[in-house]
A and B are shown apart, each in its own frame.
Chain A
Amino acid sequence: MSTTIPEAKLRRRGRLSRFDLKASPYIYIAPFFIVFAVMGLFPLLYTIFLSTRQWNTMSGDGGLACAMGDKQVSGTGCPNGRDWFGNFAWALGQPDFYTALRNTIAIFALSSLPQLVIAIIVAYLLSSNLRAKTFWRMGVLFPYIIAPMSAGIIFRMIFADQTGTINTVLGWFGIGPIGWHSDTFASWIAVSSIVNFRWTGYNTLVLLAAMQAVPHETLEAAVIDGASRFKQLTSVILPMIRPTLIFVIITSVIGGLQIFDEPQMYTVGPGYGGNSNQWLTLTQFMWKTGFVSTNASNMGRAAAISWMLFLVVVAFGILSYILTSRMASGDAPKPKKSAKTNKEVAR
């Protein structure tokens, strides 16, 4: 009799602890996923719905998206009938879309690649023994804590076409002014330098943290083996911080392809993205389509553009993931080389 009660208690306790064991982890991580479902997943799915609708930003839902066709679609009504993919067809029919795509990829390439290389080098330099370490490390992060808008205003002054710092200095050396706001390539350089200014320090710090975690023994072994500083970086440190490297690259791909603040702040006057769309990015194009015009703002089309941007980001994300894995994983060609040299030595 007296034994049955503890047994039941035990069973209950057992059940509780089993529940605790199995469910707790999920409960602990639940807040993030709940927030994500509300802030991320729902908008994601709702954007799919939106992208199929003829949705004027001011007046709201107007049924299924208008089909593109011979007749011009404007204002109310769909003269060419309706189509699930009408908004996608519209976007793909806009020359501005391709200009924006080109600009986005170009600015991304001009910012992310140099950023990564500089970040690796600076992080490596910072990881060596320096006086006043904290000062240098904080200094690198400083641009990151400047509000993007302030950075934009500062750079707009630096890159002003006639009175800007750079063109003034170039003028001293008799070099003609560069059309920072008129020449397409120059405007890309300008916009990506704002991006680089802001994000290089951040990436440096992340990489630095990873480099600090590389075991001293391994590095010492490399030094004893006679590896140069450069060799230590490429053959020991980089392979060892690969997960961090992948993180940095993927984040900068995603961030880089979605840039909005920098090109927006770089714009002067009415021409968002430049008078002939020199630095119009996809996010700017999406925003213009969805919000800028009072009459013709179209949420559906903006949603369609954002989905295509999503696909571009995913494609680049996968590509860079594959490339990084290749780059840092096996040093695949190297064993062959060393095998060859071994053979040569043997001969």
Chain B
Amino acid sequence: MRNVGIKKTAAIGAVLVAASMALTGCGNNTGGDTDSSSSTGSSTGAEIVLTINTFNNFGFEKSTDTAPGADLYQKYMDEHPNITIESTVSATSNDARSAFNTALGTGSGAFDIQAVEIDWMPSLLANADKLVDLSDTIPADRYQAWKSASATTADGKLIGAGTDIGPEGICYRSDLFAKAGLPTDRDEVAALLKGDWAHYFEVGKQFADANTGAYWFDSFAGIWQGMVNQMTEAYVSSDDESIIATDNADVKAAFDLLTAQGAQSAGLGQWSDDWSAAMKSDTGFATMLCPAWIVNNVKGGAGEDFVGWDIADVFPSGYDDSKGGGNWGGSYLVVPEQSENKEEAMKLVEWLTAPEQQVATFTAASNYPSAVDAQSDTAVTGKTDAFLNDAPVGQIFGSRAEAVTVVPYKGGAYFDINDALVKNLNTIDVDKTAAAADAWTTWVSAVGAL
């Protein structure tokens, strides 16, 4: 019987394989959640093809309606006629990460260059032997010190070249603020919001009382990123890598404070279609935490011509008023050891992360540079953003970057633990299927099972 089963499976398998082969022919252009766009070089004698995978919007691509960019690949290919760059862009960093992990784990299938988010770094540092050492290629003092430190192993190997950082301001809808009788000028808003998280929610209460039909912020998950990135050691102890997440009083206090604000949250799953659509809706949300790179998403969701979004040079100062600003995300480029074009890939990484290119990226898109020379460049400091009511975004993000006082220690298990927590925050906030206390319990047991 077993034998028969296997034969049958085999025969059917063959049919399915044939069918899927037929399908992939049509499927090549839409690699799933990933929009793949291969940019072919203008040169005819292309000898080397470099593949690169990014996510969200790095600003390297040609500009489109939903994703502004500096068209850097084309520039590089023009300068290096023997290079062809093939780029794929994953919709979210989670998609990119799981594919990258799969490739690292199986030892094949990785891109020549992979963009990685700062939150993946701790676990990648533990597997540093699978990634190329960039310390000879990239000048050590190119980036802010903490940026490089987060990508350097104990024995001095630099596995990632910094692209952008995510200093956070607060983006707000001035039209909704006006409706609620709150000030709309960005300096007044900054003064209004100055204070800790509890204060931010108090203003939220004022906004809610005005009954505008909109909510104060987008989601628990979004606010959580702001809160957790202000904690020096949230989930993992820096002493012995032991998991302290569920016993950490800071985590619990922040969790309790946040989950008590259900009425102020629009309850939208981050990155969902609903989330993007709400950015231009009158019944959407009035504020969101705004790391520089997220401005691209807001633009994409609301539409370039939408009038209303603005940004204030302020950020909640921890939940006990002890912290300065906050940094959310920001990325690196890494080259996997399994790449067949390591040398060329390293050169491209060096070029893409050089100050000039970071300036170009920030000017075209909104990814704030991590390179020190780029941050002080007049093109960066002088940049205003028409979409954000001509806000001096160069100045604001510069000031926000200076306000960051905490470089959180994350540890290898950070991503898994935080992912589990975000999922459980979503069950309260988005799905509305769990009470806060139950979600906490579920998370505690999920952390125990890691």
Q: Return chain B residues, CB-CB under 8 Å to A296.
A: 413, 416, 450
Contact of B123 with A295 in the complex, beta carbons under 8 Å: yes
Q: Return chain B residues, CB-CB under 8 Å to A269.
A: 92, 94, 221, 269-272, 422, 426
User: Which of these, A272, A291, A292, A295, contacts B413 with CB under 8 Å?
Assistant: A295
Quick one: given A163-B277, A314-B5, A318-B1, are A291 and B271 in contact (CB under 8 Å)?
Answer: no
Contact of A268 with B14 in the complex, beta carbons under 8 Å: no
Q: Return chain B residues, CB-CB under 8 Å to A294.
A: 101, 104, 120, 123-124, 126-127, 412, 415-416
Contact of A148 with B27 in the complex, beta carbons under 8 Å: yes
User: Which of these, B12, B30, B104, B127, contacts A250 with CB under 8 Å?
Assistant: B12
Complex CA distance for A299 and B31, rounded to whole angstroms? 25
Q: Return chain B residues, CB-CB under 8 Å to A255.
A: 16
Contact of B274 with A160 in the complex, beta carbons under 8 Å: yes
A61, CB-defined interface residue at 8 Å: no
Interface positions, chain A 258-279, Cβ under 8 Å from B, are: 265, 268-272, 274-276, 278
Contact of B274 with A291 in the complex, beta carbons under 8 Å: no
User: Which of these, B127, B269, B427, B449, contacts A276 with CB under 8 Å?
Assistant: B427
User: Measured between C-beta atoms, what is the minimum distance from B124 to chain A in Å?
Assistant: 7
Contact of B450 with A58 in the complex, beta carbons under 8 Å: no
Contact of A276 with B433 in the complex, beta carbons under 8 Å: yes
A135, CB-defined interface residue at 8 Å: no
**Could you give, for residues 38-60 of chain B, a 1 whenever the CB lies within 8 Å of some chain A CB and a 0 otherwise?**
00000000000000000000000
B344, CB-defined interface residue at 8 Å: no
Contact of B127 with A58 in the complex, beta carbons under 8 Å: yes
**Could you give, for residues 88-132 of chain B, a 1 whenever the CB lies within 8 Å of some chain A CB and a 0 otherwise?**
000010100110011011100000000000001001101100100
User: Measured between C-beta atoms, what is the minimum distance from A235 to chain B in Å?
Assistant: 28
Q: Return chain A residues, CB-CB under 8 Å to B434.
A: 276
User: Measured between C-beta atoms, what is the minimum distance from A54 to chain B in Å?
Assistant: 15
Quick one: given A149-B32, A250-B8, A295-B416, are A271 and B423 in contact (CB under 8 Å)?
Answer: yes
B260, CB-defined interface residue at 8 Å: no
B13, CB-defined interface residue at 8 Å: yes
Contact of A58 with B273 in the complex, beta carbons under 8 Å: no
Q: Return chain A residues, CB-CB under 8 Å to B450.
A: 74, 293, 295-296
Residues of B in contact (CB 8 Å), total 63
Complex CA distance for A106 and B99, rounded to whole angstroms? 28
Contact of A36 with B14 in the complex, beta carbons under 8 Å: yes
**Could you give, for residues 303-347 of chain A, a 1 whenever the CB lies within 8 Å of some chain B CB and a 0 otherwise?**
000000000001001100000000000000000000000000000
SS class of chain A's interface: helix, strand, loop or mixed?
loop
Contact of B31 with A40 in the complex, beta carbons under 8 Å: no
A150, CB-defined interface residue at 8 Å: yes
A125, CB-defined interface residue at 8 Å: no
Q: Return chain B residues, CB-CB under 8 Å to A318.
A: 1, 5
Residue in A160, A291, A295 whose Cβ sees the most chain B Cβ within 10 Å:
A295
A80, CB-defined interface residue at 8 Å: no
Interface positions, chain B 1-51, Cβ under 8 Å from A, are: 1-2, 5, 8-10, 12-17, 23, 26-27, 30-33
Contact of A160 with B272 in the complex, beta carbons under 8 Å: yes
A72, CB-defined interface residue at 8 Å: yes
User: Measured between C-beta atoms, what is the minimum distance from B414 to chain A in Å?
Assistant: 9
Give 13 A-B contacts (CB < 8 Å), ordered by A residue.
Answer: A36-B10, A58-B104, A149-B27, A153-B30, A164-B274, A181-B269, A183-B433, A254-B12, A270-B426, A275-B433, A276-B423, A276-B431, A318-B1
Give 8 A-B pairs besides A163-B273, A269-B269 with Cβ atoms closer than 8 angstroms. A32-B14, A57-B101, A160-B277, A164-B273, A181-B272, A274-B431, A276-B423, A291-B102
Query: Top 3 closest A-B pairs, CB basis?
Result: A182-B431, A147-B27, A57-B105
